Amino acid sequence: SAVISQKPSRDICQRGTSLTIQCQVDSQVTMMFWYRQQPGQSLTLIATANQGSEATYESGFVIDKFPISRPNLTFSTLTVSNMSPEDSSIYLCSATSGDGYTFGSGTRLTVV
């Protein structure tokens, strides 16, 4: 199955700034997904990213706050914009692969 490289693995950012998280897949995948995992909580889907079309956002998430790019079938980025401490979380990318879904190793974001 596909392997995803996600970076950065962690970062500490000042409030009001933006952070872009990158995910590189070692094979072409149709669908990629971005999740947020807040402390002690489950994974919550932010958006689905297909190559060549705008991302589809879940309820409670908007493009201005979480812009996503999907320039080709092996790469995607998620930007967390105008960050506040409430954005402190683990962000994960995922892709459909083989029999299920494969996940990146996550980005642990702390906003101070």
Partner 1 sequence: AQRVTQPEKLLSVFKGAPVELKCNYSYSGSPELFWYVQYSRQRLQLLLRHISRESIKGFTADLNKGETSFHLKKPFAQEEDSAMYYCALKSGGSNYKLTFGKGTLLTVNP
**Beta-bridge partners for 76:** 23
What tokens were used for 14? 């000042």
Strand bridging mode 75-80 / 107-111: unpaired
Site mask for partner 1 (CB under 8 A), range 26-65, x = bound: -----x-x-------xxxxx--x-----------------
**Where does residue 52 fall: left (phi above 0), alpha (psi -120 to 50 degrees), or beta otherwise?**
left
Q: How far is the CB of 39 from partner 1 (least distance, A)?
A: 12
Q: Which is nearer to partner 1, 22 or 105 (CB)?
A: 105
Is residue 104 involved in binding partner 1 (CB under 8 A)?
Answer: yes
Least distance between partner 1 and beta carbon 96 (Å)? 6
Question: Who's near 78: CB < 8 A, 6+ residues apart?
Answer: 20, 21, 23, 34, 46, 47, 66, 67, 68, 91, 93
Q: Judged by CB under 8 A, how many residues of this single chain contact partner 1?
A: 19
CB 88, min distance to partner 1, A: 19
Question: Which stretches of the chain bind partner 1, using CB under 8 A?
Answer: 31, 33, 41-45, 48, 92, 94, 96, 99-106
